[in-house]
Amino acid sequence: MSETETEALLEMARELRHAFVRRDDALRPYRERYDRAEDDLRMGPEKRAEIARAYLRASCAVDHVYDDHVNSAFEQYRKSMQAKPRTANRKAAHAPSTATEGDSPSGGRRPRSSAPFR
SS (H, E, C) 9-75: HHHHHHHHHHHHHHHHHHHHHHHHHHHHHHHCCCCCHHHHHHHHHHHHHHHHHHHHHHHHHHHHHHH
Per-residue pLDDT tens digits for 40-93: 989 999 999 999 999 999 999 999 989 998 999 989 988 888 876 544 445 545
**Is 72 contained in some domain?**
yes
**Size (the chain), residues:** 118
Domains contained in the chain, number: 1
**Is 109 contained in some domain?**
no
- Note the pTM of the prediction, 2 decimals: 0.59
**Is 80 contained in some domain?**
yes
Q: What backbone torsions phi and psi does residue 16 show, to the nearest 5 degrees? A: -65, -40
**Is 117 contained in some domain?**
no
Instruction: Determine the structural domain holding residue 10 and report its residue range.
Output: 3-94
